[in-house]
Structure 1
């Protein structure tokens, strides 16, 4: 006859296994990709594109130049045609690449849209974790596109 009381794991063995698994998880956690970064960053980019397109449409509709203001220090993109603004959180990188001048005047941290559909052009880069999204405004057509780029680790 065999003794069935000796089968299975003891409580101490189970606690040791759980401690090892917890230790491995805590070491690996910082290196796991953050899947929540992509949707949040895309949402901010889409909000920025919506604001830019709204200003472009307002310029064409009203026959006036409309300037979308970019304040990288306050992390703010503000509509020139209404009260809409996008405040970016601190964990989202925010850069603007703009021309020095447009139609013989200094640009001064704005992307300008004109009634004929043209713009001064520019690019807004939003980045978070391992992803960077660039919002490009074409100077000739006023077209607004989002381009995705993966950032190199290191």
Structure 2
């Protein structure tokens, strides 16, 4: 007894097999991944912006703490250690090695040739400072106004 063929020879329906469709999907997926690597912003730019925002935010918190507790609070920026430490015991801010750090602060708050402080007073004022964080293409400036203690951030280029 012979079995009939599922489809008679020469009468095959035109179309793609599952294997062909999967192969095309894999190739398209690899192309999307490869192209997306070229279109996203560099992680250096994202880390730079995050470092500027984090530093400014933590300085604002330190100022608020000085006002609330009625005690001086100090942030110490160490260019060599790549970080910002806080006198109230908060965790320090670490700055990536790819980011250049430049600090201009009051001479009275200079701790060493590579470390400077920013002091916040209970009345809200501060000793003032400017922290410049930069990479090869972009730079941010975190400014602390000496009179008001206001902390601001701006893009430089």
Over 3 Å counting, the alpha-carbon distance change for 1:60 and 1:42 in structure 2 is same
Instruction: Give the TM-score normalised by structure 1.
Output: 0.69
Report the alpha carbon displacement of residue 36 of structure 1 after superposing the two structures with TM.
Answer: 3.6
2:108 is the alignment partner of 1:89: no
What secondary structure does 2:142 align onto?
strand
Distance in 2 (CA, whole Å) between partners of 1:33 and 1:95 is 28
TM-score relative to the length of structure 2:
0.68
**1:147 Cα deviation from its structure 2 partner:** 1.7
Contact 2:67 2:123 survives alignment (8 Å): yes
| Equivalent position to 1:133, from 137, 140, 147 | 140
Query: 2:54 and 2:72 mapped to 1: Cα distance?
Result: 21
Once the two structures are TM-superposed, the CA of residue 125 in structure 1 deviates from its matched residue by: 0.7
Flag structure 2 segments of 5+ consecutive residues without an equivalent. Answer: 1-37
Check if 1:76 corresponds to 2:83. yes
**1:3-39 C-alpha deviation (Å, 9 max, x unpaired):** xxxxxxxxxxxxxxxxxxxxxxxxxx9xx99544332
Deviations 1:58-108 (A, max 9, x none): 10010000010111111110122223211111101011111213xxxx543
Q: Unpaired segments of 5 or more residues in structure 1?
A: 1-28
Supply the distance in 1 between the matched residues of 2:74 and 2:50 (Cα, whole angstroms): 22
Root-mean-square deviation over aligned CA pairs: 1.9
User: How many Å separate the matches in 2 of 1:33 and 1:131?
Assistant: 16
Aligned residues: 116
Q: Is the 8 A contact 2:44 2:98 kept in 1?
A: no
In structure 2, relative to structure 1, the CA distance for the partners of 1:119 and 1:130 (3 Å cut) is: same
- Give 2:46's aligned residue: 39
